[in-house]
Amino acid sequence: MASTQVETVSTGADKAKLAAAVLLVALALAGFYLLGQQGALVQWAALVAGLIAAAVVFLISEPGRQLVAFGRDSWREVKKVVWPTRKEAIQTTAYVFAFVVVMALFLWLTDKTLEWLLYDLVLGWRS
């Protein structure tokens, strides 16, 4: 039986950093709405500054560092992907479309055959 590993915030400092980041987001949103009388520039500046501060606080916490490491690892893996050439992509797409057409014809033919067998021969409804 496979065991699942659950990662949690372990230190009090990390919990405090995450709480501070959430508080900064809330303050940024509150500032945006409370500074409506000051003009749009001040509103947006307060919102952006608060969100940037929250992001910085989050990124210096352990979960933030893990997120950055995950992003780097993911980017490294994406660079390893061998993407198909244009010709290969077009050929594969053509194969898929051809298969879909063949399957559609097969299913239509099967449906019509069963319809003929059941309604005409067995039940005699269309005679």
Q: Rounded mean pLDDT of 9-24?
A: 88
46 touches 31 (CB < 8 A): yes
Name the pLDDT band for 124 (thresholds 50, 70, 90): confident
DSSP classification of residue 37: G
| Residue spans per domain, the chain | 13-81, 84-127
Mean pLDDT of all residues in the chain? 91
Give the SS3 label for residue 86. Answer: helix
Say what the pTM is.
0.57
